[in-house]
Amino acid sequence: MIKILIVGLASFVCLKAEAVPVCMAVTEDDARTILGPTAKRSKDPSGCQWMDTGHEKQMNLARIGVASMYERARADSAAKGRTQSEGGLGGTAFSTVPSKDHGGRAAIYLLKGSVVLVVDIEGFAPRGAEARIPQMRDLMRKLVPKI
């Protein structure tokens, strides 16, 4: 669900060929803190995807203007893995680590007003993504004022 949503949103934004301001607020240092020293923004015109040079690890961001998506994502995430409420991020939020990815994927969803902000990472060795959640929280705190 996470990947389908992110990819679908990224495709829509790519068709419009516009940079998403919240995505452009992510610096190379932010991405490298999460993905490692070789992280670079992808050529996606939205600016919402980062990858390491080996294209093994990636981070996707999404800003979605449909508040109801938050509860649907939370219910789906709870059914397919572990979720945890995330306080102190500037809105109602939860993190999730899907079971099927064996800890190689993680996401944080944040609801503020009618906007849902998602930071999603994947491609980490088993249980590696969960260790990046603290850095994802820091990035989320930085991005929340921009939504």
**Whole-model pTM over 0.95:** no
Please list the pLDDT of the chain residue by residue as tens digits (147 residues).
Answer: 555 444 444 444 443 446 789 999 999 999 999 999 999 999 988 899 999 998 899 999 999 999 999 999 999 999 999 999 999 999 999 999 999 999 999 999 999 999 999 999 999 988 899 999 999 999 999 999 998
pLDDT of the residue at 7:
45
Chain centroid to CA 97: how far?
A: 12
pLDDT of the residue at 19:
75
> Which single residue is written with the structure tokens 């939370």?
74
Domain count for the chain, please give it.
1
**Packing angle of the helix pair 133-143, 28-35 (nearest 10 deg):** 160
Which CATH number characterizes residue 31's domain?
3.40.1000
Please give the Cα distance from 87 to 137 (Å, whole number).
Answer: 10
Q: Which residues of 63-73 are buried (b: 16+ CB within 10 A; e: fewer)?
A: bbeeeebbeeb
> Which single residue is written with the structure tokens 């690890």?
57
pLDDT of the residue at 28:
96
pLDDT of the residue at 35:
97
Domain residues for 12? 2-146
pLDDT of the residue at 125:
85
Chain centroid to CA 11: how far?
A: 15
